[in-house]
């Protein structure tokens, strides 16, 4: 029983981590709390669902569609809204409010386009195989979710660590001004960051949509709150913190649902977040890992 | 007279809602006037609404006492959570208050006494138009007096520059707690009035979306004066009614307004300084003509 819960927790936790990674990346580089990240999650899920059901495309194409649609939406929000606010040096709260507005627009658009009812992926598309390890049943779908999440996260880590663009991004995270003086195309990388973060959010949305086989216009809201919890848990702007925080929240949520109360799982997560904020506003790993991105 | 009766029968709920939203926007204005971005006001409204409704339903308290309890219960909560929370600033405070709001919503959703997800039904309709008008007017008057008082100026000093305010000998923590708690009083009152004008309440009405709605109203109107939040609340409450023909896309308009205000009118619709300049420019132009 415990092993089974751990599998569920790992699945959920890896998607939380993937979602929060984009969220924290934007905060680390752009110093913006982009509250439209939940809408990217929702948009990715709907993009994949549309491609898969309307165009009868395979699931792999759905993943690409999720990344592309969410990424472009994130790019548009950056180019149309955040860029102007950056130019004005608007205080922190202003982009938060603007991205809340963008979320409302996108959620409302999704409700208009797809209706408010829960939509499902066609069953024949989902992998149905199950692997049995001793007493633990692992669905192929769960393996794929964990695999895709970790693949994308590892790619991001490698890009940030070893490529020219990654180093430039880390320089921007330290100081955009100094980075610009060094000849780094700061605006271009801001846009690229927004695209990447939103694309990761979109894939996370698709993965959750597949895991629970449910896609709705409002699905971005709860995950956004959890993303905020994870990012605070791991330290705002801290990439490794987001990974650990995401996994931690996944385990905390699943285990408290299983062993404490089925309803209170979310309350545990947010109660924990609330406590952490009071004790360590910089996050659990805030002091230990100081690098921002 | 009959025309008025018809009008009232159709639109009284809407007018009540305008008043209650205006009160909520003022409650957030108060917290923002001290530089605190709180997303807890929707939760405070919920605590007020549930406290008031439970007192009416189970203990049959008289309405004025119910209203007072609806205002005081969230204030007590604000005092308790405020002391540790308000050490945080900026985005961290926003996140902490958001987390508090979520914890409150989930608790209300799961407790026995609050009726769980179905909420509370059959709350007597005790709120009348003059209750709302009276409380709104009293709140407006109190806030106008507060602005010009020592406390109001301290709030403003803290909002502009916390360190400088502290150097001038202002008790920053105390004033922040006061702004947070007084904001909770107004939000709780709004909740108590709302519970007794809508017949039923449920946890869905006091979540993140509502916190955002309150924020939108206040920011749209502008926080440079008390007229701003009331104006913002009125516009955003009436607008969805005027936009019924847009159906599901109705809310998108709210979002677009929020974006447009942030991009093009950073000080909100009602900016007293800008208005004075406009009036001044208009006068000079008129006087300039022979």
Quick: pLDDT tens for B155-168: 999 988 889 999 99
Least confident segment among A10-14, A130-134, B34-38, B228-232: A130-134
CB contact under 8 A, A225 and B98: yes
Spatial contact of B135 and B16, defined as CB atoms under 8 Å apart: no
The number of CA neighbours under 13 Å toward the Cβ of A18 is 31
What pLDDT is stored for residue A290 in this prediction? 39
| Residue A259 distance to chain B (closest CA, Å) | 16
Assigned domain for A81 exists: yes
Cα angle value B137/B139/B145 (rounded, 5°): 100
pLDDT band at B125 (very low <50, low <70, confident <90, very high): confident
By C-alpha distance, the chain A residue nearest B104 is: A267
What pLDDT is stored for residue A282 in this prediction? 63
Q: What is the mean pLDDT of residues B62-91?
A: 89
Q: Residue B290 pLDDT more than 60?
A: no
Residues of A near B (Cβ–Cβ under 8 Å) read 33, 81, 84-85, 88, 90, 92-94, 96-98, 100-109, 111-112, 115-116, 221, 225, 228-229, 232, 236, 261, 263-264, 266-267, 270-271, 273-274, 277-278, 281
What pLDDT is stored for residue A281 in this prediction? 62
Contacts of A263 in chain B (CB under 8 A): 106, 109-110
Q: What is the mean pLDDT of residues B39-61?
A: 93
- CATH of segment(s) B10-288: 1.10.3470
Identify the CA nearest to B124 among candidates B195, B58, B187, B21. B195
Please indicate whether residue B222 or residue A43 has the higher confidence score (pLDDT).
Answer: A43
| Residue B129 distance to chain A (closest CA, Å) | 31
What pLDDT is stored for residue B1 in this prediction? 67
CB contact under 8 A, A277 and B92: yes
Q: Counting beta carbons within 10 angstroms of the beta carbon of residue A120, is it exposed (0 to 12), middle (13 to 18) or buried (19 or more)?
A: middle
Which letter, b or e, does each residue of A100-112 get, where b requires 16 or more Cβ atoms within 10 Å of its Cβ?
bbbbbbbbbbbbb
Least confident segment among A32-36, A181-185, A224-228, A263-267: A263-267
Contacts of range A118-122, beta carbons closer than 8 Å, 24 or more positions apart: A118/A214, A118/A215, A118/A216, A119/A46, A119/A49, A119/A214, A119/A215, A119/A216, A120/A213, A120/A214, A120/A215, A121/A49, A121/A52, A121/A53, A121/A209, A121/A210, A121/A213, A121/A215, A122/A52, A122/A53
CB contact under 8 A, B258 and A85: no
User: How many domains, chain A?
Assistant: 1
Please indicate whether residue B277 or residue A19 has the higher confidence score (pLDDT).
Answer: A19
Residue B159 CA, chain-centre distance (Å), reads 19
CB contact under 8 A, A229 and B99: yes
What pLDDT is stored for residue A68 in this prediction? 96
Q: Residue A277 pLDDT more than 70?
A: no
On whether any CB of chain A is under 8 Å from the CB of B227, the answer is no
What pLDDT is stored for residue A289 in this prediction? 37
Please indicate whether residue A91 or residue B32 has the higher confidence score (pLDDT).
Answer: B32
Q: Residue A288 pLDDT more than 50?
A: no
On whether any CB of chain A is under 8 Å from the CB of B107, the answer is yes
Q: Counting beta carbons within 10 angstroms of the beta carbon of residue B61, is it exposed (0 to 12), middle (13 to 18) or buried (19 or more)?
A: middle
Assigned domain for A169 exists: yes
Q: Residue A154 pLDDT more than 70?
A: yes
Residue B178 CA, chain-centre distance (Å), reads 16
Cα angle value B143/B149/B152 (rounded, 5°): 65
On whether any CB of chain A is under 8 Å from the CB of B137, the answer is no
Which tokens sit at A293?
């991105």
**Test the B interface: residue of A274, A276, A280 with most B CBs within 10 Å:** A274
Q: What is the mean pLDDT of residues B147-154?
A: 93
What pLDDT is stored for residue B236 in this prediction? 86
First and final C-alpha spacing in chain A: 38
What pLDDT is stored for residue A123 in this prediction? 78
Name residues 186-215 of chain B within 8 A of A (Cβ). 208-209, 212, 215
Q: What is the mean pLDDT of residues A202-225?
A: 91
Q: What is the mean pLDDT of residues B79-98?
A: 82
What pLDDT is stored for residue A286 in this prediction? 54
Contacts of B258 in chain A (CB under 8 A): 97-98, 100-101, 104
10 Å Cβ neighbour count for B5? Answer: 9
Least confident segment among A31-45, B106-120, B228-242: B106-120
d(CA A277, CA A247) in angstroms, rounded, equals 18
By C-alpha distance, the chain B residue nearest A27 is: B91
What pLDDT is stored for residue B158 in this prediction? 92
| Residue B60 distance to chain A (closest CA, Å) | 31
Spatial contact of B229 and B22, defined as CB atoms under 8 Å apart: yes
User: Measured between alpha carbons, how far is residue A128 from residues A50, A52, A118, A119, A207 in Å?
Assistant: 21, 17, 21, 19, 15
For the ranges A125-134, A238-247, B178-187, the one whose mean pLDDT is highest? B178-187
Share of chain A above pLDDT 70, in %: 93
Q: How many CB pairs under 8 A join A and B?
A: 122
Please indicate whether residue B84 or residue B233 has the higher confidence score (pLDDT).
Answer: B233
Q: Residue B68 pLDDT more than 80?
A: yes
pLDDT band at A192 (very low <50, low <70, confident <90, very high): very high
Q: pLDDT tens digits, residue range A205-215?
A: 999 999 888 99
Q: pLDDT tens digits, residue range A235-255?
A: 777 888 889 989 988 988 888
CB contact under 8 A, B103 and A107: no
By C-alpha distance, the chain A residue nearest B92 is: A281
pLDDT band at A231 (very low <50, low <70, confident <90, very high): confident
pLDDT band at A263 (very low <50, low <70, confident <90, very high): low
Q: Residue B21 pLDDT more than 50?
A: yes
Please indicate whether residue A31 or residue A290 has the higher confidence score (pLDDT).
Answer: A31
- Where are chain B's structural domains? 10-288
DSSP category for residue B115? T
Q: pLDDT tens digits, residue range B236-270?
A: 888 878 887 777 777 788 888 889 988 888 888 88
On whether any CB of chain A is under 8 Å from the CB of B64, the answer is no
By C-alpha distance, the chain B residue nearest A93 is: B91
Task: Please give the mean pLDDT across all residues of chain A.
Answer: 86
pLDDT band at B28 (very low <50, low <70, confident <90, very high): very high
Task: Please give the mean pLDDT across all residues of chain B.
Answer: 87
Q: Residue A287 pLDDT more than 50?
A: no
pLDDT band at B200 (very low <50, low <70, confident <90, very high): confident
């Amino acid at each position: 029983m415990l092993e089974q819960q751990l599998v569920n927790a790992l699945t959920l936790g890896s998607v939380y981590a993937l979602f929060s990674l984009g969220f924290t990346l934007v905060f680390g580089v752009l110093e913006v709390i982009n509250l439209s990240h939940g809408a990217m999650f929702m948009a990715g899920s709907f993009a994949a669902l549309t491609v898969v059901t309307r165009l009868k495309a395979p699931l792999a194409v759905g993943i690409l569609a999720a990344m592309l649609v969410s990424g472009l939406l994130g790019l548009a929000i950056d180019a149309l809204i955040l860029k102007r606010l950056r130019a004005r040096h608007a205080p922190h709260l202003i982009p938060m409010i603007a991205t809340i507005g963008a979320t409302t627009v996108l959620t409302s658009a999704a409700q208009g386009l797809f209706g408010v009812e829960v939509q499902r992926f066609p069953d024949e598309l989902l992998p149905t195989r199950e692997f049995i390890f001793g007493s633990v049943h692992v669905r192929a779908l769960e393996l794929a979710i964990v695999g895709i999440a970790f693949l994308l996260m590892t790619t991001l880590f490698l890009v940030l660590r070893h490529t020219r663009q990654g180093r430039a991004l880390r320089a921007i995270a330290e100081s955009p001004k100094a980075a610009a003086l060094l000849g780094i195309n700061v605006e271009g990388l801001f846009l690229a960051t927004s695209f990447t973060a939103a694309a990761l959010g979109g894939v996370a949305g698709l993965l959750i949509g597949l895991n629970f086989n449910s896609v709705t216009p409002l699905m971005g809201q709860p995950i956004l709150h959890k993303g905020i919890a994870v990012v605070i848990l791991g330290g705002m702007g801290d990439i490794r913190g987001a990974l650990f925080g995401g996994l931690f929240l996944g385990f905390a949520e699943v285990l408290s649902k299983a062993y404490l109360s089925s309803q209170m799982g979310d309350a545990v997560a947010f109660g924990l977040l609330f406590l952490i904020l009071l004790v360590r506003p910089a996050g659990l790993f805030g002091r230990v890992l100081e690098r921002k991105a | 007279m009959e025309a008025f009766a018809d009008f009232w029968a159709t639109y009284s709920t809407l007018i009540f809602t305008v008043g209650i939203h205006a009160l909520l926007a003022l409650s957030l204005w108060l917290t923002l006037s001290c530089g605190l971005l709180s997303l807890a006001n929707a939760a405070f409204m919920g605590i007020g609404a549930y406290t008031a409704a439970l007192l009416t339903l189970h203990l049959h308290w008289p309405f004025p006492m119910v209203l007072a309890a609806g205002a005081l219960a969230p204030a007590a909560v604000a005092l308790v959570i405020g002391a540790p929370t308000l050490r945080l600033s900026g985005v961290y405070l926003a996140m902490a208050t958001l987390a508090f709001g979520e914890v409150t919503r989930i608790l209300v959703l799961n407790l026995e006494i609050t009726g769980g997800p179905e909420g509370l039904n059959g709350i007597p309709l005790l709120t009348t138009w003059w209750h709302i008008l009276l409380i709104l007017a009293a709140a407006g008057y109190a806030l106008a007096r507060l602005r010009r008082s020592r406390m109001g100026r301290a709030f403003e000093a803290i909002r502009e520059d916390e360190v400088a305010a502290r150097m001038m000998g202002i008790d920053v923590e105390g004033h922040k707690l006061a702004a947070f708690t007084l904001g909770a009083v107004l939000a709780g009152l709004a909740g108590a009035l709302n519970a007794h004008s809508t017949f039923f309440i449920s946890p869905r009405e006091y979540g993140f979306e509502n916190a955002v709605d309150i924020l939108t109203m206040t920011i749209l109107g502008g926080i440079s004066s008390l007229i701003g939040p009331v104006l913002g609340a009125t516009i955003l409450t009436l607008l969805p009614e005027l936009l019924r023909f847009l159906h599901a896309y109705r809310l998108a308009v709210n979002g677009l307004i929020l974006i447009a205000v942030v991009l093009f009118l950073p000080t909100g619709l009602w900016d007293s300084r800008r208005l004075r300049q406009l009036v001044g420019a208009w006068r000079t132009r008129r006087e300039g003509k022979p």
